[in-house]
Amino acid sequence: MTVLGAVFRPQLPPERLRSMARLADDAGIEELWLWEDCFLEGGISTAAAALAWTERVRVGVGLLPVPLRNVAVAAMEAATLHRLFPGRALLGVGHGVQDWMEQAGARVESPMTLLREYADALRALLGGERLTTQGRYVRLTDVALDWPPPPGSEVPVLAGATGPRTLRLSGEVADGTILTVATSPEGVRRARRLIDEGREAAGRTGPHRVVVNLLTTTGPDALRRLRTELANEGVDTVPDLGVAGDAQAVAKAVRALADAGADTVVLQPTADEPDPEGFLRFTAEEVRPLVP
């Protein structure tokens, strides 16, 4: 069964999150995804709040930019969420937008090296290991979490990826991959192949979850808003990106991504979505029943 989620975009003020999270929970949406785009809203703080305000919805953060967060701190935050809200927190990590990292004084010379070292260390710490490592960027001495996630709990570390090298790396070091709205069904197939190359190289055989964001618009001006957003993303010339239309059209687009290899499809409204609450209800009440 395809997991269906929706995004709470950080262009909305933080004070809107409480009502939106409760609506997602009540409506039966399986996953509510948050972003840590610079310089809008913090991913961990919003995730903790959303989880505390709800009872069942899983809350994902995609992505935490690793240059901004010491890995020991990220492990502490992740472990706390997993102990407070077992099975409901999903955290993704990524390079971060390099221009934003430059603005924050955190840009590194080799984002690939940092992401590899970071993901390895984060997974080890969340697995209860005591870690000493002296990498190029990640340096820890005798670090272990006093309150790691409980043994046997599912604590996946997901990685955001777009290019071939990062997709292969995600297969090597992460438990899942998050793909952006610039990913068509054919792009999902390509990503799966590259991820599997990385998994094979690392000898990994466990499941690897692929999460795809799908830019979605509905309503009388849906096509115009979709085209405008894709143009703003610089991908308006790529075929089969995004979907504009009613629930049947959206469900068809979700199924196409699932057939290509997506385990989770997250409906992403445009930045100018006029009715964010209505978008969540549309996702849960109209699209979900049409997606197997």
pLDDT value of residue 128: 96
What tokens does 264 get?
């989770």
pLDDT value of residue 248: 98
Average pLDDT (133-140) is: 98
Residue 52 reports pLDDT greater than 90: yes
Residue 152 reports pLDDT greater than 90: no
pLDDT in tens, 1-51: 999 999 999 999 999 999 999 999 999 999 999 999 999 999 999 999 999
Residue 153 reports pLDDT greater than 90: no
What are 250-257's contacts with CB under 8 Å, separation 24+?
Answer: 250/214, 250/216, 250/218, 250/287, 251/287, 251/290, 251/291, 253/214, 253/216, 254/2, 254/4, 254/214, 254/287, 254/291, 255/2, 255/291, 255/292, 256/185, 257/183, 257/185, 257/188, 257/212, 257/214
For residue 87, give the nearest of 168, 166, 150 by alpha carbon. Answer: 150
> Is 53:21 a contact under the CB 8 Å cutoff?
yes
Residue 237 reports pLDDT greater than 90: no
pLDDT value of residue 239: 86
Three-state SS letters, 226-254: HHHHHHHHCCCCCCCCCEECCHHHHHHHH
Per-residue confidence band for 259, with pLDDT thresholds at 50, 70 and 90: very high
Q: How far is CA 31 from the centre of its chain?
A: 10
What tokens does 45 get?
């703080």
Mean pLDDT of the chain: 97
pLDDT in tens, 176-219: 999 999 999 999 999 999 999 999 999 999 999 999 999 999 99
Per-residue confidence band for 100, with pLDDT thresholds at 50, 70 and 90: very high
Three-state SS letters, the chain: CCEEEEECCCCCCHHHHHHHHHHHHHHCCCEEEECCCCCCCCHHHHHHHHHHHCCCCEEEEEEEEHHHCCHHHHHHHHHHHHHHCCCCEEEEEECCCHHHHHHCCCCCCCHHHHHHHHHHHHHHHHCCCCEEEECCCCEEEEECCCCCCCCCCCCCEEEECCCHHHHHHHHHHCCEEEECCCCCHHHHHHHHHHHHHHHHHHCCCCCCEEEEEEEEECCCCHHHHHHHHHHHHCCCCCCCCCEECCHHHHHHHHHHHHHHCCCEEEEECCCCCCCHHHHHHHHHHHHHHHCC
Residue 154 reports pLDDT greater than 90: no
Q: Percent of the chain having pLDDT more than 70?
A: 100
